[in-house]
Amino acid sequence: MHQEVPVTQLTRREISQQDYERIHTSTEFAELRKRFRGFAFPMTVVFLVWYLLYVLMSAYATGFMSTKVLGNINVGLIFGLLQFLSTFVITAMYVRHSNKNTDPLADDLREQLEGKTPDESGTTEKGTTRA
């Protein structure tokens, strides 16, 4: 790793003006970005609200949060551990969303832009290995 300064794709790879125009102006690309945002932004709000709510409840609903469930194991402690679960669930939802909604659209877009020619050297979402 250390002996070579990696050259990045941003500098090495030239996208032709034509490619850029085609992608940039295609409705599919716009739709793709919209679908990403449509999921990621609201989801960020949801998880931030959920975390912040926990903290706020700890501060102002101490009675509820210190309700004993089992011995000294109280609601607050259980909610705290549930944060792990909620993080995992949100990530799982994002993975599902991407696989179901954005990946197929990306594949469509690619077919449309490149015709049916197989991409010999590129990385594809379908698991083609790199040349």
Partner 1 sequence: MDSPFALPAIVLVTVVTLAIGAYGVRFARTTSDFLVASRTVSPGWNASAISGEYLSAASFLGVAGLVMKYGADVLWYPVGFTAGYLAMLLYVAAPLRRSGAFTLPDFAEARLGSRRLRLLCAGFVVLIGWLYLVPQLQGAGLTLGTVTGAPYWLGAIVVGVVVTANVATGGMRSITFVQAFQYWLKLTALAVPAFFLLLVWRAGGTDSLTAAEVPVFPTETMVDIQVDVSVNVVEPVSLVADGVIDGTAVDGPLSWAPGRHDIAQGAVLTFPAGAPVPHADQLDTLDNATWGTPLSTGGGHPEFPLFATYSLILATFLGTMGLPHVLVRFYTNPDGRAARRTTLLVLGLLGVFYLVPTVYGALGRLYTPQLLLTGQTDAAVLLLPGAAIGGVGGQLLGALVAAGAFAAFLSTSSGLLVSVAGVLSTDVVGRGSVAAFRRAAAVAGIVPLGLALQVVSLDVSVVVGLAFAVAASTFCPLLVLGIWWRGLTDAGAAAGLLAGGLLSTGAVLITVLGGARGGWLGVLLAQPAALTVPVAFLVMVVVSRLTAARVPVDVGRIMVVLHAPESLGVHRRAG
Binding to partner 1 (CB under 8 A): which residues in 26-65?
A: 29, 32-33, 40, 43-44, 47, 51-52, 54-55, 58-59, 62, 65
69 lines the binding site for partner 1 (CB under 8 A): no
| Closer residue to partner 1 in complex, CB, 27/130 | 130
Q: How many CB atoms lie within 10 A of CB 32?
A: 19
Nearest to 65 by CA among 50, 80, 51, 52: 80
Residue 74 binds partner 1 (CB under 8 A): yes
Residue 96 amino acid letter: R
Cβ-contact 58, 44 below 8 angstroms? no
Minimum distance of partner 1 from residue 27's CB (angstroms): 14
- Of 18, 27, 71, 100, the one binding partner 1 (CB under 8 A) is 71
| Residue 127 identity | G
